[in-house]
Chains A and B, each alone.
Chain A
Amino acid sequence: MNTEVNVRPFYRKISFIVISSLLVAFMIYHTVMSVIAPARKLKEIHEKYGFVQNQKNPVDERIFSDSAFISLMREKAYFQSRVAMAGTDSIYMTINLADSTVNLEISGVVVHTTDIKKQHISSILSKDEYSVLNMLSAPLVIERDYSTIMKEPLMIKMAPKDTSEYQPDIIPDTADFEPVNFILVMDNSINIYVYQEEKLKFGDGFRRFVFDLRDRLKYTAASLARTASFRVPDYRPFIKIRLSRADAKRIYRALPYHGQVGLYR
């Protein structure tokens, strides 16, 4: 009887040590795999958009780190994507990270412009300039979006059966009471986060935190699933910008579901 009492805590201790060690080992393994992910993504970008040397007409590759040449490339990439987007009748967004401005444009006409209050971009977007700029020379297409407000605040009203039921009404815009935060997931896996800068009402900061946490949880779950199956997690380069609430709302409502975005960095 005494032996049984003494054995139980020993097994408990052992299992605690084993579980803790496994957890720590998995945490280290996941960290290593996750740290590898950006480099792998950059390699993918390089393979797809990088410079291919022409053996007949070789180019000195030092040119791709020349400041004057890179500056010209930036301009060209931005113009290329804007010209491509201007060819459509749809509304598109251009983000100029150098000037800290966001424009809404339709067919080459700037219909709205606003200042970026804060910005933070993925470190890999500052690496391998040639490949990244080549990638940005084509418009980025929105694959899906997540938002705290509705794109179209539709309100359903049933038609009255006769004139006695008719009541004229004015519909308030519900988005006037909600903080405006949204995420645009682009086709080349870049994520654009647009957050409301001001904390106008009590709880706005908390709601932004919850919105951000929800996205992080999704990303973490996907990463954990990949590392658990011995694969490197998918890395999502990001651009996080903060705009005034009114501008964030205007931009989100104006952009079509599969709208286009041009980026200057």
Chain B
Amino acid sequence: MNEKDLIQDPDTGSTGEINISGVTANVRSFFKRLSEDQGIKNFFRKFILIITFAASVIFVLVFFIWLVPALQEIPSGGKTALTNNPELKQDAGYKRLTSQMNRDLQRLSRKYNSFTSGQSYLVINTTDNLFHLYRNKKQVREGFCSSGSYKMLQTVEGRSWIFKTPKGKFTIQDKRVNPVWTRPDWAFVEEGLPIPARDHPTRYEYGVLGDYALSLGSGYLIHGTIYKRFIGMPVTHGCVRLGDEDLEVIYRTLSVGSKVYIF
């Protein structure tokens, strides 16, 4: 059994003999032929050389790109060791500095809180097309809205408009019931229509802005829409569109002077 192993076939039950010494001899002779063949030797030498070179290049790159920055982050001395020394707390200089620091903190805290008034305000998230209505610093309603499409309309003459909702802090400047839309130039250009005179009757469209509109200035409004299936999508020309119920609640909650935060 040392030189020959018997292997039983599980299906047929027959046994086959494998001559291990024969296999070893064959392998040995293969490697002997390989070592004698100059062409194969050269090939392997070149192959190992290329692998070594590639590994060295990779090591150098990894060294400069990852290893050196990692070494820079190895914590060394100089880290502030925080203490709690009761003797130091009795020091007059310590008392003076900490009381000054506490006064500064109170002043800053008061100033910071003064920025947030208790008035109702609206927050509009243009990335997700969501709105959040706050009263007394608590959220009272949230829902979907539509904001600017980020479409840039260009004419062959070189005129262009970017339809995006402005971001930052705004103030409600005006509130209207049953608003009438005065169509700007881009509304005609977008549909391939000729631009009419400023006071032409085709400029005025009734019922397309919903029941209410709140003006943010510079022509931007918060209003309703007849295209309700698009609410929650970035499809507007810069205004903020809301569903009828949400618009009514917002109209009744916010007053002229209320803040609208758009991000």
Contacts and interface: CB of A to CB of B under 8 A. Distances in A.
Contacts of A34: 68-69, 71-72
A30 B64 contact: yes
- Counting from the closest, the 8 A-B pairs by CB-CB distance are A108-B115, A160-B192, A79-B108, A254-B263, A67-B82, A129-B80, A89-B169, A162-B192
8 contacts: A63-B88, A67-B83, A69-B94, A153-B150, A161-B156, A161-B192, A170-B230, A256-B167
Interface of B: 60, 63-66, 68-69, 71-76, 78-85, 88-89, 91, 93-94, 97-98, 101-102, 104-105, 108-109, 111-116, 121, 123, 125-128, 149-156, 162, 164, 167-169, 189-193, 230, 233-235, 259, 261, 263
A129 B81 CA distance: 9
Given A73-B101, A126-B79, A223-B68, A250 B192 contact: no
Nearest to B148: A152
Contacts of B72: 34-35, 37-38, 235
| Chain B binding surface, main DSSP class | mixed
Contacts of B88: 60, 62-63, 66
Nearest to B260: A106
A246 B128 CA distance: 9
Contacts of B149: 155, 171
Given A34-B69, A38-B73, A254-B167, 20 more contacts: A63-B88, A65-B83, A66-B82, A67-B84, A79-B105, A79-B109, A79-B112, A91-B168, A108-B112, A126-B75, A126-B80, A154-B152, A156-B152, A157-B151, A157-B152, A157-B153, A171-B234, A219-B69, A223-B64, A249-B127
A250 B130 CA distance: 12
Interface stretch (A1-9, A80-88, A140-148, A199-207): A80-88
A235 B192 CA distance: 56
A213 interface: yes
A72 B84 CA distance: 14
B261 A109 contact: yes
Interface in A144-184: 152-166, 170-171, 173
A163 B89 CA distance: 80
Contacts of A72: 98, 101-102, 105
Contact of B154 (A89, A126, A158): A158
A84 to B, nearest CB: 10
Contacts of A69: 94, 97-98, 101
A219 B169 CA distance: 37
B79 A89 contact: no
Contacts of B75: 123, 126
B185 to A, nearest CB: 11
The DSSP consensus for interface residues of chain A is helix
B82 A76 contact: no
Given A27-B60, A62-B85, A163-B192, A109 B116 contact: yes
Contacts of B189: 159
A33 to B, nearest CB: 9
A164 B193 CA distance: 10
A2 B89 CA distance: 87
A241 to B, nearest CB: 16
Contacts of B69: 34, 216, 219
A91 B167 contact: yes
B116 A111 contact: no
A211 interface: no
A127 B237 CA distance: 50
Interface in A20-56: 23, 27, 30-31, 34-35, 37-39, 42
Contact of B150 (A62, A91, A152, A250): A152
B169 A76 contact: no
B152 to A, nearest CB: 5
A130 B97 CA distance: 13
A253 interface: yes
Contact of A76 (B108, B114, B235): B108
Contacts of B64: 27, 30, 220, 223-224
